[in-house]
A and B are shown apart, each in its own frame.
Chain A
Amino acid sequence: MAKHETPLLDQLESGPWPSFVSDLKQQAAVRAKNEAGVEFQIPRDAVEDLLGVLELSYKHGRTHWKHGGIVGVFGYGGGVIGRYCDQPKLFPGVEHFHTIRVAQPCGKYYKTDYLRGLTKLWDMRGSGVTNMHGATGDIIFLGTTTPQIEEIFYELTHNMNQDLGGSGSNLRTPADCLGSSRCEYACYDSNALCHFLTNNYQDELHRPAFPYKFKFKFDACPNGCVASIARSDMSFIGTWRDAIKINQDAVNKYVANDAAYPPNAGAHKDKDWGPFDIEKEVLALCPTKCMKFENKTLKIDNANCTRCMHCINTMPRALKIGDDRGCSILVGAKAPIVDGAQMGSLLVPFVEVNPDNDYEAITAVIENVWDWWMEEGKNRERLGELIMRQGFQKLLEVTGIEAQPQHVAYPRTNPYIFWKEDEVTGGWTRDVVEYRKHHLR
């Protein structure tokens, strides 16, 4: 018999999709039975009370949670988010129900014994409810009390070699794709760069001094499996500068519908899409129309290729990314807060990704951007909003990057170009007499 009646939540289980309500009920039942003999350090009925307070919120049409507080671990300004229920007498099990963010491993690689260690720890010292993974990418532990936080932190760091993630006005837990560990499209080792920057910027991760949150995300190729261009203040997207490598024999195998060369690497092959048509499925879909197929030869005008990856994705055995590889850096994406949702803007079209010099070309850009944002950013202003307020031109100035054609999103839409005196030959002074020789009044 459930502790609280939950008719509104029960309705959420009736649809065709997996329901978090069912998951919570299952976890409540596991804690009630406690067949594993766990020595619970927070109320055993915490999950039942969680369901109860959610039902009440649905009934009232308003939340019964308060968030924020002084909870945290010693020396860290992030990783723990205080949560309190404003109906503690009705739901004592969730009177304090803090969230802990745990930094996810690069590429989200973990072994089963690591996951078992995490869940064992959380079953004992928390509610056992997790969110794998949160929007930033962290492993999220949902629901514990203040006295358990230091205990959890000690066990994570001392026994599992595991750090907390970021929250608050910090660098948030960097997130990356699988990169070259598994993917042939990877233009750089996203795992290595993510790991390096995570270690290099520990202070920024744990000791808050930014105007607001700041997120790094790493996509090793323009397919963008991590969607870094939309989800991070600074996005590192793999790219290449030379030509796409073409295997003409393989192209013709695709064209001939050779069974060993299924288009899209065999994805969606369960349905009969008809014979492969290179004109329709590749050339016509190229956003810059930089490809042509004549006399059994595929030609690509690489100067006009925007590295959209479509042709490579469609014919992966015939087309490969180039060899002169690095990444592009985009800045300013964010969710809709002040000016609506924004995608990242291209700041550095190509930068080398070189672990041998500690990625100095990349850290230089990062630190210049941070210095500007920390100095000029208003409280709770994301980098993208600062760029909108002060202008992309200002960002180029502070990063010492010269304006390039790639920075222009829409050519010829804005006639107002503001030159500074030192950017113009001869400055603002001019010889009027000389001018009048050629231009009459």
Chain B
Amino acid sequence: MSELLSNKEAATQAVVDFMTKKSKTKSKFYFNDFQDIFPDDKLRDIKKVVNLLVTDGVLEYWSSGSTTMYGLKGGGKQHSSEGEA
């Protein structure tokens, strides 16, 4: 595991920076987009860290039912736009 990925704070910041930088064009990301942030790591290691970020409330899942994407929590289209709390 790379130094960046094994440092949770730095990894979190790198993910947030990456997504914020791209937030004007898109709010949802495929899992393999994270490989651009952590190019030296195995996807299965990246997965562990990224899913912790979901548990910690930094990220959230978006699912079409067949495909799942990741986004910053509260970013993009939310339940409220569908009339839900």
Contact = CB atoms under 8 A, between A and B. Distances in A.
A146 to B, nearest CB: 5
A71 B64 CA distance: 10
A84 B44 contact: no
Contacts of A218: none
Mostly helix, strand, loop or mixed at chain B's interface?
A: mixed
Interface string B30-41: 111000000000
A75 B60 CA distance: 10
A440 interface: no
Contact of A68 (B50, B54, B55, B64): B64
A208 B61 contact: yes
Given A70-B79, A84-B82, A96-B84, A208 B62 contact: no
Chain A CB count within 10 A is highest, among B63, B77, B85, for: B63
A212 B30 CA distance: 10
A77 B63 contact: yes
B61 A211 contact: no
A237 interface: no
Give the interface size bracket for A toward B: 35 or more
Interface in A123-169: 145-147, 167-169
Contacts of A78: 63, 68
A361 interface: no
B49 to A, nearest CB: 11
A72 interface: yes
A168 B64 contact: yes
A140 to B, nearest CB: 11
A207 to B, nearest CB: 5
A169 B66 CA distance: 6
A409 to B, nearest CB: 29
B67 A168 contact: yes
Closest 8 CB pairs of A and B: A168-B68, A68-B64, A208-B68, A81-B65, A209-B47, A168-B63, A169-B68, A77-B61
Interface of B: 30-32, 42-44, 46-47, 50-51, 54-55, 60-68, 77-79, 82-85
Interface of A: 67-72, 74-75, 77-78, 80-82, 84, 88, 95-96, 99, 145-147, 167-170, 203, 207-213, 371, 374-375, 379-380
Given A209-B46, A211-B30, A211-B31, 14 more contacts: A70-B61, A72-B61, A74-B55, A81-B63, A96-B83, A146-B79, A146-B85, A147-B85, A170-B68, A209-B31, A209-B50, A210-B31, A211-B32, A374-B43
